[in-house]
Amino acid sequence: EVHNESGSKRVIVTKTLPGDRWLQYLINADCRVEVCKHPDIILSNATIKKLMGNKCDGVIGQLTEDWGSELFEALKQAGGKAYSNYAVGYNNVKVDEATKRGLPVGNTPGVLTETTAELAAALTFAAARRVVEADVFMRAGRYQGWLPDLFVGNLLQNKTVGIIGAGRIGAAYARMMVEGHKMNLVYYDPYPNKHLEEYIKLYGELLRHRGEPPVACKRVETVEEVLKEADVVSLHCNLDASTRHLMNASRLNMMKKNAVLVNAARGPCIDEAALVAHLKANPDFRCGLDVFEDEPAMKPGLADCPNAVIVPHIASASLWTRSGMATLAAANVAGILSGYPVWNKIDI
Ligand code: DGY
């Protein structure tokens, strides 16, 4: 699908994007915009290279694509000047390969913070309160009457929530859980999040003023301390060499037997085969997963675990957010092609 046929700069958009404001940014920057309608959900490098051809000024690409030396070289050869990932995460992008070819890279932070945190909270409650198991039970026509022990789960209020990574999304999730459910927070992040700590301190003072038990917030020096203490652990870290298989068998074993583990960050942060074994061995342990180690595949056995809630990488999937991401990605590319600095630049 081609928009603004007469535009002097050629921009490839590898998937249809929601909303229409994004397109206006590119048209205003005199771009001819080609939106790929290829039937494959995950485009191969060969397909993307074919799309770029021998003249391509900029690309808006997806987190399912492999933006490394091969694609950045092809973009450079086609006269390209800009790449934006349609995502905040950029583990699919080798930024150094772009940088050494003089290609700036953008991403889409901010607009997905609350949406992603909301889904992490939804997974937390769904897992703790066994919502999906109970839904499946109802649909199977198995409900024969109220029972005291039917789908008994965990109450989260006043318990401890742990987060690994206290950046934008981690902090938004922590605020939801602390303020909404009066949970105490324990977090691991190499850098303290002073805003978050201050926010929880003020909230604690409000509770004290009302005569309610206050909430506590603690930053700890190791991931292990979070795992041992928390009733819920939610991952909000980037995927890099230091966080790949961060949750392995030995760390899973450090968690409480009836804890909840949530991942709306990146799949490979968890050793998924180890998680399947842990779920099978510990029926009271639960997890909520938005992301998977080998997406779109799941490790054998995961889908059979009733104590896992699994959804297909939808954490940022609200219309407002997805259109906002499109606008940011287009602003990144349109800006660079018009000679402005990248709106949201990923630096290395
Ligand atoms: C991201 O942006 O990194 C999410 O995984 C998809 O919105």
In a domain, 346, yes or no: no
In degrees, rounded to 5, the angle at the alpha carbon of residue 316 between the alpha carbons of residues 313 and 319 is: 120
Contact in structure between 177 and 236 (CB atoms under 8 Å): no
pLDDT > 70 in the chain, percent:
100
Q: Where are the alpha helices (DSSP H) in the chain?
A: 21-28, 45-52, 69-77, 95-99, 113-128, 131-139, 168-181, 194-209, 223-229, 249-254, 272-281, 319-337
- Is the ipTM, as predicted for this complex, more than 0.90? yes
d(CA 266, CA 238): 7
Q: What is the DSSP string of 100-152?
A: TTT--EE---STTHHHHHHHHHHHHHHHHTTHHHHHHHHHTT---S--TTTT-
pLDDT digits (tens, 9 = 90+) for 252-311: 999 999 999 999 999 999 999 999 999 999 999 999 999 999 999 999 999 999 999 999
- Atom number of ligand 1 nearest to Cα 85: 2
Query: Pairing mode, if any, of strands 2-3 and 31-35?
Result: antiparallel
Whether residues 70 and 163 fall in one domain: no
Whether residues 179 and 152 fall in one domain: yes
Cα(112) to centroid(ligand 1), Å: 8
d(CA 40, CA 61): 14
Provide the pLDDT for residue 348: 62
d(CA 331, CA 316): 19
pLDDT digits (tens, 9 = 90+) for 59-68: 999 999 999 9
In a domain, 343, yes or no: no
Could you confirm whether 266 is annotated as catalytic?
yes
Range of the domain at 96: 2-111+318-337
Number of folded domains that form the chain: 2
Instruction: Name the residue with tokens 């965990």.
Output: 154
Whether residues 305 and 329 fall in one domain: no
SS3 content of the chain, % helix, strand, coil (to 5): 40, 15, 45
Could you confirm whether 209 is annotated as catalytic?
no
Ligand 1 pocket: which of 17, 60, 62, 63 to mutate (most atoms <8 Å of CB)? 63
Instruction: Name the residue with tokens 């030396």.
Output: 69
- Say which of 266, 278, 286, 322 is annotated catalytic: 266
Whether residues 84 and 208 fall in one domain: no
Could you confirm whether 142 is annotated as catalytic?
no
Whether residues 259 and 201 fall in one domain: yes
pLDDT digits (tens, 9 = 90+) for 96-153: 999 999 999 999 999 999 999 999 999 999 999 999 999 999 999 999 999 999 999 9
